[in-house]
Amino acid sequence: MNRIEQRFKALSQDGRKALIPYVMAGDPSLAETVPLMHALVKAGADLIELGVPFSDPMADGPVIQAAGERALAQGVSLQDVLGLLHQFRTNDTGTPVLLMGYLNPIEIMGYDTFADAAASAGVDGVLTVDLPPEESDPLLSALDRVGLDAIFLTAPTTSDLRLERIAGAARGFIYYVSLKGVTGSNAIDTDEVQDKLGKLRALTDLPLGVGFGIATPEAAAEVGAYADAVVVGSALVRRVGEFGSDPERMRHEVCELLGGMRAALDAA
């Protein structure tokens, strides 16, 4: 049982929902990423989703695209991101961390080399946005070999047949994209989300997380009423971009929002 499974099991036993913040590795800088991750844990994060900067993102809205551009301008690479995980694990061996990014950097490194390096660094799961489950077997085999979870996205447009395929391939939890669009949008159709989650629950016992378009404590509590996990990204990354020149204030602003979401989820 890896850290992701352990964390969701503990949360379920306590009757609580997982709160999963997303931040971009290397934004505002490599030096500030690990302190921000530790601050997120103190503010109530149950898992952390760490973005790997990539030059041609397809799911990221303008806020996260800008964060990736800031990181790439500093030369941040996949190797650097794994180095950050090594640093994070010196003081936190319990919080699950998953990498969210795109396939190209992993392919360049090589699936087995990447899997070994990620496991050694303390990664728990990998979400590769542009890897369809139909083509995922080589990476899944490499991740399974070292005990890392492959996290898959589903969306409002995902067919029932494809939901079944994804449910069979996924590990750790399944990430449901709550709307048609990119990160940072804000028009969640709660009825549609609940309907899709109901279909997924009939196919898998894995926890179900919901993300995209969650920007306030009220929205987090609403989604937490029917999901096992709430993922928040752009609302936090926007504050990193606004206050990145003042790291202490940046952490305060980010954690104030996350803490409000934690309180709202727990109250609900």
> pLDDT tens across 101-120, in order?
999 999 999 999 999 999 99
Report percent pLDDT > 70 for the chain: 96
246 is catalytic: no
pLDDT at 187: 58
Task: Among 27-41, 181-195, 197-211, name the most confident range.
Answer: 27-41
pLDDT at 182: 46
Sort strands 18-24 and 229-232 into parallel, antiparallel or unpaired.
parallel
pLDDT at 173: 97
User: What CATH number is given to the structural domain containing 182?
Assistant: 3.20.20.70
Q: What is the mean pLDDT of residues 251-267?
A: 97
pLDDT at 252: 97
Of 6, 108, 146, 128, nearest in space to 58 by CA: 128
Domain count of the chain? Answer: 1
Residue 59 and residue 182: Cα distance in Å, rounded? 5
pLDDT at 132: 87
Confidence of residue 94 (pLDDT cuts 50, 70, 90): very high
Q: What is the mean pLDDT of residues 181-209?
A: 78
* Phi, psi of 150, deg, nearest 5: -95, 115
**Mean pLDDT, all residues of the chain:** 93
The DSSP annotation for the chain comes to --HHHHHHHHHHHHT--EEEEEEETTSS-HHHHHHHHHHHHHHT-SSEEEE---SS-SS--HHHHHHHHHHHHTT--HHHHHHHHHHHHTT-SSS-EEEEE-HHHHHHH-HHHHHHHHHHHT--EEEETT--GGG-HHHHHHHHHTTPEEEEEE-TT--HHHHHHHHHH--S-EEEE-SSS-TT-----HHHHHHHHHHHHTT--S-EEEESS--SHHHHHHHHTT-SEEEE-HHHHHHHHHHTTSHHHHHHHHHHHHHHHHHHHHH-
pLDDT at 184: 45
253 is catalytic: no
Spell out the long-range contacts of 246-253 with Cβ–Cβ below 8 A and sequence spacing 24 or more.
Answer: 247/28, 247/32, 247/35, 250/28, 250/32, 250/36, 251/35, 251/36, 251/39
Full domain range(s) for residue 232: 3-267
**Annotated catalytic residue within 46, 49, 124, 222:** 49
Higher pLDDT, 50 or 212: 50
pLDDT at 109: 97
**Annotated catalytic residue within 27, 32, 46, 60:** 60
Spell out the long-range contacts of 200-203 with Cβ–Cβ below 8 A and sequence spacing 24 or more.
Answer: 200/154, 200/163, 200/167, 200/174, 200/176, 203/163, 203/164, 203/167
pLDDT at 189: 67
Q: What is the mean pLDDT of residues 137-154?
A: 95
- Of the ranges 148-152, 187-191, 255-259, which one carries the lowest mean pLDDT score? 187-191
